[in-house]
Structure 1
Amino acid sequence: MNKELIDDFASCGIAALVGIGTTTMLLTTTLLLTTTTLLAQPQAAPQAAPQAQRQTNAPGYLLVLGRSLDRTKIIAYSATLPPIYAETGGRYIGIGRPGGGVTCVYGLCEGRSAVVARWTDQAGIEAFWWGDAYRKAIRLRDGAGVFTVVGLKATSNVAPYDGGALLISTMSIPTASTSDSAAAQTWIDAAAAAGARLLVPPTATVIVPLEGDALYNRVALLSFESKDKRDAFAASAATKSLISSGPPLTIVSIIAVDAPPALISIPAQTPSTK
């Protein structure tokens, strides 16, 4: 599939997911918020916990990376999503396609689109993904591309910068030893010194595999106040040092993802109690 067609598809996502009503906007902005297709069958739905146990004070995130191959399916699927995200309290904090909101800084991310959604309560990840509405919607894009989807459970109430910019590192660490993760922690400390907010730390327990083969078992999600500050850190000596750190730490990718344009970002709503 040629790059021109991928970029055409990737420009489709924003309008469909924010409910902008014109057909033109729908056709030109569908992919980015819909980059979730069955590379592998989704994991089995977990048993629902009692409401008191499921509620947390920490936010949750959905990270989608990949490519779309079937425009017609993506458009039909995308049109169903806005009320599902809104009902579960989700909002989009990062979105883009190659050359339009997403930059592959390093690794296995060339040509990929990205979507990052946030819930103030991480229980929203399961409410969205395993809810009846999304289970029905997901059938509309079977076979429509090759993507990976993971949920991320934050460990603190740190919020992203409004209108800021994201930097995401996906990595593989075979063990949980301190020495294995030291390089990642050094990078995170340098990011904090540069003004970044750590939204999700690179620990194995925060990742919830949902779809596809992610190839990584750690994700560090950073929010910067501006694209300029994000891009400066992405090109910094600290990032270069992380990339060259070597085994046992393997950097799968480092990806810069821009915030949604202000006019089309979706405000979170209080989840329905129905």
Structure 2
Amino acid sequence: MKRFALIAIFAFAGCAPAADTTAPAPIETTDTAMPIGAYMIVQGKGYAPGSLGPYAAALPPIYAKYGGRYVAFETDIDVAEGDSDYSAVIVSAWPSKIAARAFWDSPEYAEAIKLREGIGEFDVVIVGALPTG
């Protein structure tokens, strides 16, 4: 069964600390029953709200093609330790590290990432999920 997840248009389209508390429209993503073998964690800063709209809009079908889905997005970062200056954190789940990397290295994503060139700074890591059970 497919479920709907809130994506904040891949999150960055509205990546300012929001005074507006309305949620974006749900966007259909891949089956949430999919086993999670890896997470992709994106931390972003230094961009204007809405500047990543075209980039954000291009991502959902590419994520779906490679088995990814969004699981967390936050612009109101709660730093428990350290000194983070990121404006947003996005976490996506993937069937495996190989699937996440296939997305990242795909020709589709190579085209999409051109839409964010020169906009902000981003750190992206792929980490394996702990086994369940």
Stretches of structure 1 that go unaligned for 5 or more consecutive residues are 1-12, 19-28, 33-56, 160-274
Which residue of the partner structure matches residue 131 of structure 1?
A: 106
1:69 aligns with 2:47: yes
When the two structures are aligned, how many residues end up with a matched partner?
109
Corresponding residue of 2:118: 143
User: How far did 1:106 drift?
Assistant: 1.6
The whole-number CA distance in structure 2 between the counterparts of 1:58 and 1:94 is: 14
Distance 2:38 2:87 in 1: 22
Matched-pair identity in %:
31
> 2:37 touches 2:93 (CA, 8 Å); kept in 1?
yes
Root-mean-square deviation (CA, aligned residues, Å) is 2.6
2:65 counterpart residue number: 87
d(CA) in 1 for partners of 2:78 and 2:96? 29
Gap change, CA 1:146 and 1:125, over 3 Å in 2: same
Question: Shift in Å at residue 31 of structure 1?
Answer: 4.5
> Distance between the aligned counterparts of 1:158 and 1:64, measured in 2?
23
Aligned with 2:52: secondary structure?
helix
What do residues 11-66 of structure 1 show as CA deviations (whole Å, max 9, x unaligned)? xx934239xxxxxxxxxx7245xxxxxxxxxxxxxxxxxxxxxxxx8711101112
What residue identity is the alignment partner of 1:30? A
Question: Is the Cα contact below 8 Å between 2:9 and 2:57 reproduced in 1?
Answer: yes
Aligned-residue offset at 1:78: 0.7
TM-score normalised by the chain length of structure 2: 0.69
- Partner in structure 2 of residue 215 of structure 1: none
TM (normalized to structure 1)? 0.36
Contact 1:93 1:117 in 2 (8 A): yes
1:60-112 Cα shifts (integer Å, max 9, x gaps): 110111214144540111110110111111112221002xxx31112121453
Contact 2:45 2:85 in 1 (8 A): no
Change in CA separation of 1:114 and 1:72 when aligned onto 2, cut-off 3 Å: closer
SS in 2 for 1:78: helix
Structure 2 residue runs of 5 or longer lacking an equivalent are 1-5, 16-34
Contact persistence 2:8–2:14 (CA under 8 A): no
Pairwise mapping of residues 3-152 of structure 1 onto structure 2 (< 5 A)?
Answer: 14-17=7-10, 30-31=13-14, 59-71=37-49, 73-98=51-76, 102-152=77-127
The one-character-per-residue Cα deviations of 1:121-154 (angstroms, maximum 9, x if unpaired) are: 2211111100110010001101110121111123
Asked whether the 8 Å contact 2:71–2:92 carries over to 1, the reply is yes
What is the alpha-carbon distance in structure 2 between the residues aligned to residue 58 and residue 69 of structure 1?
A: 30
Name the residue aligned to 1:26.
Answer: none
